[in-house]
Structure 1
Amino acid sequence: MPESRLPLALLPGLLCDQALWQAQVKGLSDIAESRVADFTTQDSVEAMARSVLEMMPQERFALAGLSMGGYVALEVMRQAPERIERFALLDTTARPDTDEQKRRRRGLLSLADKGQFKGVTPRLLPLLLSKRFLEVEAVTSVVMAMAERVGKEAFKGQQRAIMNRPDSRPLLPSITVPTLILCGAEDALTPPERHKEMAEVIPDADLVILGGAGHLAPLERPDAVTRALRAWLRR
């Protein structure tokens, strides 16, 4: 392993696994030693954050999280800021769930408990992908396959973790490492306004908004996301 490669932790979102980051792991392999977290056995962002810290053997590492992975990344920063060398938040928010969002999550948990877990169906894809990718089977098949692999029990734990996460907005001004804030311009779940909000209060943050991408930018615009991460890792 070349000494010049930076250790990089990549954190996936709800119902996502290592396939979310496959293009970035490959595209950054010359400068980053990447590890993708597994969030299929925990039911709180605190436990997920501890698993990330245990996953990374190096004392300091770069950290990037998408959506739920962003909530966990913020918790890692809360638990062990001294270990984070660089920080990236993609398609996520520092805000906690609203009461309405919690109500919807409880409804999904109830359906899953009744055996009606359906993973990511074509009906849900418009929340995750920009319009241009809704008919691109090479992308939609990856999203649905990830959800199937993650499965019902992990989905339930992840929803509980998301629903009970803290408000991370008070943490943002204390983040002083080089930070990348990135989102798809068509992100319907965590829109660009949420990212501008974070970038404005993190002292050393760069904001990147990618056209033609929704909530899963690393799958929709893989080359653009890899370029943004490369620039961040080299900054």
Structure 2
Amino acid sequence: MREKLYLLPGTQCDDRLWAPLVTRLFDTVELVPLAIPMNMGFPDIAELLVSQLSESTVNLLGFSLGGYVAAEIAVRYPERIARLCVLANSPKPLPTAELEQRAQALRLIDKVGYRGMSRLRAKSLLDPSHHDDEWIDQLIAMDRAQGVEKLKSQLRDTSDRRDLFAPLSQWHKPILFCASEGDDLVDTEWLTRLSKQNAQVDVHWISSRGHMLPLEHPDSLADAIRKWLTKVGT
């Protein structure tokens, strides 16, 4: 019987994000994509998503924004989560500079509209070795499919984040973080501190600068996920 693993995507991502992992894990893991609901804050997002989980306890994985959402669910509803995996995210408040960028982006969208993700923005999310059209076009296509209203909701409603270090440091079930060593969107020091504080926390570092781990490094992720799914809590 295959393990079931629920998946939460990142900003402006759809099921194409998971395709490389599905290919590598389908023989042993049933991957179940979820969508992050629009126009609500994290408490309501967590409550709604938990109501969609049919099992009493589940394995939950989130990427980027979805990683923060997954961590929120784990600390709000610990009895529902057997294992937690967070990709390319450190669950803590966003930096002031990023909050300002998000506010500016919302003002610009309201003023002149949204023409889609720029190629420059797409390149900033990828390791330099993946700065070719195939990789960039994948990100632009997912963004286009999600649309401007989804983007506005995610920029507006998911920016107010709390630091989950304290509750995660007390979590007694397996937690896996996967992150690129050079990802500017992840606080690597925060992850290192958490792993030292809680023996249940493993951090799988990838030698890369890319943020889009499920697309860029599916082999490494698949190996780490398989090992994580064999672990049990204390």
Instruction: Mark yes or no: TM-score above 0.5.
Output: yes
**Is there any run of 5+ residues in structure 1 with no aligned partner, and where?**
none
Establish whether residue 18 from structure 1 lines up as the match of residue 15 from structure 2: yes
Instruction: Supply the distance in 2 between the matched residues of 1:142 and 1:28 (Cα, whole angstroms).
Output: 21
Give 1:104's aligned amino acid: Q
- 2:169·2:194 contact (CA, 8 Å) conserved in 1? no
Establish whether residue 104 from structure 1 lines up as the match of residue 101 from structure 2: yes
Partner of 1:33: 30
Alignment CA distance shift 1:202-1:113 (3 Å) = farther
Partner of 1:44: 41
TM-score normalised by L of structure 2: 0.91
Establish whether residue 210 from structure 1 lines up as the match of residue 206 from structure 2: yes
Instruction: Supply the distance in 2 between the matched residues of 1:44 and 1:92 (Cα, whole angstroms).
Output: 18
Instruction: Supply the distance in 2 between the matched residues of 1:49 and 1:214 (Cα, whole angstroms).
Output: 27
Establish whether residue 228 from structure 1 lines up as the match of residue 224 from structure 2: yes
- 2:62·2:70 contact (CA, 8 Å) conserved in 1? yes
SS of 2:101 mapped into structure 1: helix
Q: 1:123 aligns with which of 120, 126, 129?
A: 120
Q: Which moved more, 1:221-230 or 1:193-202?
A: 193-202
Instruction: Supply the distance in 2 between the matched residues of 1:161 and 1:167 (Cα, whole angstroms).
Output: 17
SS of 1:209 mapped into structure 2: strand
Alignment CA distance shift 1:57-1:83 (3 Å) = same
Partner of 1:67: 64
SS of 1:114 mapped into structure 2: helix
Instruction: Supply the distance in 2 between the matched residues of 1:202 and 1:13 (Cα, whole angstroms).
Output: 26
Alignment CA distance shift 1:47-1:230 (3 Å) = same
- 2:5·2:30 contact (CA, 8 Å) conserved in 1? yes
Partner of 2:134: 138
Give 2:62's aligned amino acid: G
Q: Which moved more, 1:116-125 or 1:172-181?
A: 116-125
Partner of 2:78: 81
SS of 1:7 mapped into structure 2: strand
Instruction: Supply the distance in 2 between the matched residues of 1:125 and 1:225 (Cα, whole angstroms).
Output: 21
- RMSD over aligned Cα, in angstroms? 1.8
**Is there any run of 5+ residues in structure 2 with no aligned partner, and where?**
none
Deviation at 1:197, TM superposition (A): 3.2
Deviation at 1:219, TM superposition (A): 0.5
Instruction: Supply the distance in 1 between the matched residues of 2:49 and 2:6 (Cα, whole angstroms).
Output: 7
Give 1:22's aligned amino acid: A
Establish whether residue 173 from structure 1 lines up as the match of residue 169 from structure 2: yes
Partner of 2:152: 156
- 2:75·2:168 contact (CA, 8 Å) conserved in 1? no
Deviation at 1:118, TM superposition (A): 3.4
Deviation at 1:213, TM superposition (A): 4.9
Alignment CA distance shift 1:37-1:202 (3 Å) = farther
SS of 1:63 mapped into structure 2: strand
Q: Which moved more, 1:59-68 or 1:107-116?
A: 107-116
Give 2:69's aligned amino acid: V
Instruction: Supply the distance in 2 between the matched residues of 1:95 and 1:214 (Cα, whole angstroms).
Output: 20
TM-score normalised by L of structure 1: 0.90
